[in-house]
C-alpha cells in the first residue's frame, strides 16, 4: 500500500506568523491522519513553519530550489540551505514556475537530481494546458514530461520521488477534472514510469492530483486507485478545509 500524501502549497501566501498559526490549527488532524501531511511554505516562512511543526507529523516543503550548491544566483536558495532550515520536501516544476519563471524540463530534472542527492523528497509537477487537452495530446505531453524529469535517475531513487499531476486548466479556475479524468492521467503516469523502470517501481511511486482539490471534491478524488494524495492550493490556506481533506486520505 502506498501511503497517501496531502501537501498544502501556500504559494505566495502566509507571513511567518500566519504560517505558524495555520500549522497549529492543522496539527491535531495531521497527527491523527493515516497519510503524510506536508505544508509548502514560501522561503521567508520556512524557519517559522519548521519550528511550528516540531513534535507533530507535519513535514515542511520549500516551493523551489536551485540545482547548484552555491554561486552567483541572486534570489535562489540551495538544497544545503533547505537542509539547514530543516526542510524535508521540495516542490519542483510547478506550472506557475514553468509559466512565469522560465522553468524547463531540463531544470526540473537537474533540481530533482539535486534534491535526491541532498536527501530532500522532490514533489515533481507535470500537467497539460486546456489547449493540449482539447487537441488530444495530454498523455503524450505528460509522458514526455515524466521521461525528461526522471532522466538519469535510478529506480532506487525514483521510488523516493513524488509526482504531482496538475492539469493547468484546473488550477485557480474553479474547474476540476472529474474523478475518472484525474485517475486516468495518474494511471497513464504510472504506465510511463513502468516503461522507464519496471512495474514494481511504478507501483511504489506516489502520484498526487493537484488540480483545485478542495473539501468538497477530495473524497471522490482520493478514493481513486491511482491517486495517492493531493497537492492542494487555495484550500490549504483554510485550516478547516485542509483538515477535512486530510481526513479523506485513508
Name the residues annotated as catalytic. Answer: 94, 166
For 18, the grid coordinates are 500566519
Tell me the β-bridge partners of 207. Answer: 163
Burial (0-12, 13-18, 19+ Cβ within 10 Å), 68 = middle
Are residues 186 and 194 in contact, defined by beta-carbon separation less than 8 angstroms?
no
Are residues 93 and 123 in contact, defined by beta-carbon separation less than 8 angstroms?
no
Sign of dihedral through CA atoms 139, 37, 105, 174? positive
Could you give the 3-state DSSP secondary structure of residue 225? Answer: coil
Which of these, 80, 6, 14, 81, lies nearest to 41 by C-alpha position? Answer: 14
Amino acid at each position: 500500500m502506498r501511503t497517501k500524501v496531502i501537501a498544502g502549497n501556500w504559494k505566495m501566501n502566509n507571513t511567518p506568523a500566519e504560517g505558524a498559526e495555520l500549522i497549529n490549527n492543522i496539527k491535531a488532524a495531521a497527527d491523527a491522519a493515516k497519510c503524510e501531511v506536508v505544508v509548502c511554505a514560501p522561503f521567508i516562512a520556512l524557519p517559522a513553519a519548521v519550528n511550528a511543526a516540531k513534535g507533530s507529523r507535519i513535514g515542511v516543503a520549500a516551493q523551489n530550489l536551485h540545482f547548484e550548491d552555491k554561486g552567483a544566483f541572486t534570489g535562489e536558495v540551495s538544497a544545503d540551505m533547505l537542509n539547514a532550515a530543516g526542510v524535508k520536501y521540495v516542490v519542483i516544476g510547478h506550472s506557475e514556475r514553468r509559466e512565469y519563471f522560465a522553468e524547463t524540463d531540463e531544470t526540473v530534472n537537474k533540481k530533482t537530481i539535486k534534491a535526491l542527492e541532498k536527501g530532500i523528497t522532490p514533489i515533481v509537477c507535470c500537467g497539460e494546458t486546456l489547449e493540449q487537452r482539447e487537441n488530444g495530446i495530454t498523455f503524450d505531453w505528460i509522458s514526455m514530461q515524466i521521461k525528461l524529469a526522471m532522466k538519469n535517475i535510478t529506480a532506487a531513487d525514483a521510488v523516493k520521488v513524488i509526482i504531482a499531476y496538475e492539469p493547468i486548466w484546473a488550477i485557480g479556475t474553479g474547474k476540476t477534472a472529474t474523478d475518472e479524468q484525474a485517475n486516468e492521467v495518474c494511471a497513464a503516469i504510472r504506465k510511463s514510469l513502468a516503461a522507464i523502470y519496471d512495474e514494481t517501481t511504478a507501483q511504489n511511486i506516489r502520484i498526487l492530483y493537484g488540480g483545485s482539490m478542495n473539501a468538497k471534491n477530495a473524497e471522490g478524488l482520493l478514493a481513486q486507485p491511482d491517486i495517492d494524495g493531493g497537492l492542494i492550493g487555495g484550500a490549504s490556506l483554510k485550516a478547516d478545509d485542509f483538515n477535512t481533506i486530510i481526513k479523506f486520505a485513508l
